[in-house]
Structures are given as structure tokens and as C-alpha cells.
Chains A and B, each alone.
Chain A
Amino acid sequence: MRLLIFLARRLGYSIFVLLGLSILVFLIARVMPGDPARMAMGPRAPEWVVERFRTEMHLDKPLYVQYYYWLRDALQGKFGLSIYTRRDVSQDIGEFFPATMELALFAGIIMGVFGIVLGVVSARYANSWIDNSVRVITYMGVVTPAYVFAILFLLLFGYVLNLLPTTGRLSPGVPAPPTRTGLVTLDSLLAGNFTAFFDALKHLIMPGIALALGGLSQEARITRASITENLQRDFIALERSQAIPERVIMSKYLLKLSLIPTVSILGLDFASLLGNAFLVEMIFNWPGMSRYGIHAMLTKDLNAIVAVIMIFGVIFITVNIIVDLVVSWLDPRIRLGAERAK
């Protein structure tokens, strides 16, 4: 019940956030220099063709009217035509988005799982050579941009060692599984096609890890810091004084508390991961949203720009709602504090 109220409230807020975001993006896309109608029709198109296109796209109307038309269509799930692909934007997104989602989910899972594990190991062996190497490596992980990792991996594992495929989602010759979720790995598992599954997984490894490393390093460092800090707290001394076994103290009392900051920044890290995905997708020729998004920006493909950004907005909000749920489950102070404020 409490959960439902929380969700309802967060979804309510989200509507306003998305409305605000749509207005902002809508305006920015339109005030950028360049005439979208002219760019869509090409430099040699006669003036009357451009004019007709402008009227069709409502580009001759005031901005608020244009926004009204856009919102009216968007509420019905129609995001208009892309002038780059000449197709429905929703159709384009349906095609490119799953690839990005698969990459982001894979990277997100690696980031969360290995970040926490590394942090715990590092804290467990604090100030040993293990801890020191983890700290040095994660420090480099935090300061190195994802695309640098992507290029390094590409050179090392792709060309020099020739261990992993360097482009796309599946090797040529491997038949793609029937599309159900759009995530190739999941689809091939659902179809029971393990050849395709492992092939898709191999394609995911390099871009996925390149994307994950930054956030992973940050998670590891924060987890380590939070565990070592909490170890000094009085209640750990009290629990130890009560003959509670060390393993129970560590895995139950210490871990739950120490994961709160880690989980809190997971949401932010996931957002920056989506941003970084643009460059990493370019490097690995990943057929995701990035190429589409970048083309949309460069060609002033108004409908595509707004739709791409809105999709990222929705993902960002969803991830943060999930993060907030997990954090409030971990931390009763937040849960109860929110209740008291009502």
C-alpha cells in the first residue's frame, strides 16, 4: 500500500518533469540556427516545395501552436515523421532503441555487480596490496572517458589479439533469432538458440565493459569508502561485543548500511552511461540510437530530436524511481522520514 502511494506520487511528478523536458527540447530544437524545411528538402529544391513542406509540418505557425500539435499527437503515441529516414519516428525508435537498451542494461549490470564486489573486496582487505591495486585501477577508471576504453579495447582485443568481434551485434552468417524483446541475447535464449546467444554476448563484451568501467570504478570506490567508514562506528563495536559472529556483522549489519550511497549514485551513473553510449556505439558500429540521434541533431530532424531526448528522459526517470525504491527499502530513515513529512 505504502509502495503504491509512493509509486503514484513519483509517477505524478514524472509527468511534470517530462512535460517540462518536452517544452525545453522542443524549443531548443527549434531555435537552433538552420531552416529545417530547407535542410529536409535539400539545397536545390524549389521554394514552393519547401514552403509546402513547412506548412505540412506546421513550421509556419507560432511556437506554442506547434507545441500544441506536437503534444496532441504525442499523447496518441505519434511522434511525427523523421525527415532523415522518411519514416515514422516511433518506428525508427522501435528499431534502434532495443540495441541501445541491450548495451545499456548489460553495462549497467556489470557496473553494479562488479562495482559492489570490488568495493567489498577492497574494504575487506583494506590497505593490503589487493586494496591498493583496486584503488589505483578504479582511480584510473573514474578519470578515463568511456570512448578511450572503447578504442583501447578495440585495438587490443579486436585487432591485436583478435579475440572479440569489433562491430555490430551479431557475426555475419549467424542467423538472427526471431525478434520478441528486441534484445538479441534474450531473444536467442527464448528461441533456445545458444549459438546466437554466445555470439551476441561476445559482441556485447567490449562495448559493454568500456561503457561500464567509469561507473563501476566510482561504485567500487564509494562502496569501499562507505564500508571502511561504517566499520569505525559504535554499533559495529557493540555488535562485536555481543559475540555476534564477524560474518553476520559483515554480510548483514555492515553491508546493508554501506550500500546506501552506492545504490544512490547508481542512478546517476546509469544516466551518464546512456550519454557515453553515443560515442561507444559509434566506435563499435553498434546499430543503436546514437547514430540515429546524431544524424537527427545534424540534420535538424526536429521530430527525431525531441523523440530521442524524450526516450532518454523516460529511462532516466524510470531508473531513478527504481533507485529510490531500493534506497528507501535499504534505509528506513528515508522511508520513515518521508512518511513523517506527510
Chain B
Amino acid sequence: MAEALLEIRELHIGFEVYGGTLKVLNGVDLMVREGEKVGLVGETGCGKTTTAKSTLRILPMPPARISRGEILFRGADILKMGPKEIRRVQGQGISMIFQDPTAALNPVFTIGEQLMDAIRYSNSQEALGRREIRARAIQALKDVALPDPERILECYPIQLSGGMRQRVCIAMAIATEAELLIADEPTTSLDVTIQAQVLRLLGNLVQEKEASTILITHSLGIVREWTDRVYVMYAGGMVEAAKTREIFARPLHPYTQLLMRAVPKLTGEGIAEGIPGRIPDYLNPPPGCRFHPRCPYAMPICAQERPPFFPRGEDHQVACFLYKG
């Protein structure tokens, strides 16, 4: 079994707001092995993006506050790193692709300026020459199949379509040869017709560069097609982790089961079922398992203790007292 590249343990993150602390991450555990494609699924607002941003230390602090936990990248804790080390991780360790490429590109600078700065500062050891940086930028744009890269370098984001902008963002992420790529819902803001294209492109690039990936999404279809292993997240914590094939064949956690049933099927009749209840209030989250108020199988213990991961079979873990012992 391959070595762990990224390992998040018991991560607790809160956001200080007027009136208290939003307890957004409540003991997140996540592991990515080298060369692995990991999916991270969950509802909007369950903490997927917060988890991703915390690995790059780009959460705005304050208001965000990390109260507990560690994020190990190749064994070194990102949360304890000095400025030099963290920049090495940001430069060549982890790259992130944001959900909305329009918001992720600075509107008043050219693509070239932004892409070349990303390349220039990614390598903290040796200073690259201008020509070398430019050549790499052009290569990165070619890698994401953008036509006429030289012209695109001179373009401003406004001159490109949404799909092209996301390709530029992908180019930025791969240009630095990062070992781990975090794609945060990379296709959500794109046209449906473009989504498949961009995903295919991303898949090929990951294959080619042999990078590990975390794909954040709320589409189970994409997860199924794309990933080796899946984490299901609910209200700031992981509820289940398993190989992709396994989790679709045998979902264990009640939330996972309900989530799968909520997907509309082409062959099915009518609208799929939703999950009754609402996502919890992060200011005063329910004690114990955060899913228990909505859970059809809730037991007394669920309201008292937070369930840890219980192993069920090879590489399958579930955070639910139904599977204790």
C-alpha cells in the first residue's frame, strides 16, 4: 500500500462571528495516499472547502481559528510550519483549483501575469529566468488544450469564456508540478456541456503528471466515475470512507444511504427522496453525532458521544454507533 501523502487528523476549525463561534470543522480525518484520487462529497456548507483551504493555510484568520488537530504533509505538520516551509508546500506540494474561475482570477491583471507569477514563486530554491517562466506558462496552457497560448497570455480574464478561465486555473495548478491537486468543485460553475470536457482534461492531466488528487464535489456521478476512494462528509465531520466501488455497493452510514437514495435515477419514476430535516446550526450544533436529529436509526448514545471511525472490512470506515463492535 502506498504511503500517505496528506493526512488530516482530528481537525477542528471554528469561525469567530458576532454571537459566538461557528464550529465548522468538528474533528475531520482524511488521508490521501500517493497517486490516489480521493473524492470528498457532502452537502453545500458541510466544510469541504474549509478543509481544502486549511491544507494550504489560506483560511482568513481571524475569523477562522484552528483549535485542534494536525495536517501532515509527508509527515510534517503544515499547521506548525514556518514561513519558508509553508511556502514550499504551497509552491510545489499542494495546488488548488477553485470552484468559480471567474472569482479566482484577478480581473485587472492578464492571464500571463498571474500564471507567470504562480510559476515564478512556486520554486523557492532556484530563481527561474523570465524566458524559462514564459516557456513553462505557454506549456501549461498547451497542456490544458487552450488554443493560441501566446495570445491568451496577453488576455484579461474578461476576454475568456468560463470554460477557458477554468482551464487557465487548471493550468496554474499543474504548472507548478504539485504533488497533490485539490479540485474544489471545479465544474460547478460551468455549463453542463463544458463540465464533462473539463473533467476529462483534468483526469488526463492527473494521470500524466502522476499527481494525487482530492476532488471535492456534491455530484455522486462524478465521484463514481472519477475517484479511487471516497470520503463522505456531513456537517463538519467525515461520516464514511471507503473505496469508491465499495461505497456505492455497500453504503453503511445512514447519511450515505440517504444521500444515494436522493439521487434522481434516469430509469426511476418521479423525483427522488430528499433527506428529511435540515443541516444543523453551526453556532449550536447538536451534541454527539451531528446527524442524529435527522437519522432514522438514532439511538440514545448518538446524542451523547461523537462516534469515531469504526473499521468495517478492508479500507472501509464508518463513523456510526450502529457499527460499533
Contacts and interface: CB of A to CB of B under 8 A. Distances in A.
B176 interface: yes
Interface in B73-100: 87-88, 90-91, 94-96, 98, 100
A257 B104 contact: no
B86 to A, nearest CB: 8
A1 interface: no
A231 B110 CA distance: 19
A77 interface: no
Interface in A322-342: 330-333, 336-337
A240 B58 contact: yes
B158 A235 contact: no
A2 to B, nearest CB: 14
Interface string A99-132: 0000000000000000000000000000000000
Contact of B53 (A237, A248, A330, A336): A237
A333 B105 CA distance: 13
**Mostly helix, strand, loop or mixed at chain A's interface?**
helix
Contact of B156 (A243, A245, A332): A332
Contact of A333 (B58, B91, B94, B158): B158
B183 to A, nearest CB: 13
Question: Taking each of B91, B95, B104, B110, which has the highest tally of chain A beta carbons within 10 Å of its own beta carbon?
Answer: B104
A235 B87 contact: no
A337 B159 CA distance: 9
Contacts of A11: none
A244 B105 CA distance: 14
Interface in A273-298: none
Contacts of A244: 117-118, 121
B172 interface: yes
Contacts of A233: 103
Given A242-B117, A242-B172, A336-B159, A257 B90 contact: no
Interface in B214-269: none
Given A243-B90, A257-B108, A333 B156 contact: yes
Given A237-B53, A240-B58, A331 B108 contact: yes
A242 B121 contact: yes
B60 interface: yes
B172 A234 contact: no
Contacts of A330: 108
Given A256-B108, A332-B156, A333-B158, A243 B58 contact: no
Contacts of B58: 237, 240-241
Given A243-B91, A333-B158, A238 B107 contact: no
Interface in B95-127: 95-96, 98, 100, 103-110, 114, 117-118, 121-122, 124
Interface string B254-287: 0000000000000000000000000000000000
Contacts of A240: 56, 58, 90
A332 B158 contact: yes
Nearest to A245: B121
A331 B110 CA distance: 11
Interface in A226-280: 231-235, 237-245, 248, 253, 256-257, 260
Question: Taking each of A231, A244, A331, which has the highest tally of chain B beta carbons within 10 Å of its own beta carbon?
Answer: A244
B107 A257 contact: yes
Nearest to A230: B106
A235 B117 contact: no
Nearest to A253: B106
A341 to B, nearest CB: 13
A237 B156 CA distance: 19
Contact of B91 (A238, A242, A336): A242
B96 A238 contact: yes
B95 A235 contact: no
A30 to B, nearest CB: 48
Contacts of B159: 336
A332 B91 contact: no
Contacts of B121: 242-245, 248
Interface in B135-171: 156, 158-159, 169
Interface of B: 53, 56, 58, 60, 87-88, 90-91, 94-96, 98, 100, 103-110, 114, 117-118, 121-122, 124, 156, 158-159, 169, 172, 176
29 contacts: A231-B60, A234-B98, A234-B103, A235-B103, A237-B58, A238-B96, A238-B98, A238-B169, A239-B114, A240-B58, A241-B53, A241-B90, A241-B95, A241-B96, A242-B91, A242-B122, A242-B172, A244-B117, A244-B118, A248-B117, A248-B121, A257-B106, A257-B107, A331-B108, A332-B107, A332-B156, A332-B158, A336-B156, A336-B158
10 A-B pairs with the lowest CB-CB distances in the bound complex, closest first? A243-B90, A243-B91, A234-B103, A332-B156, A242-B118, A241-B56, A243-B87, A235-B106, A234-B104, A240-B58
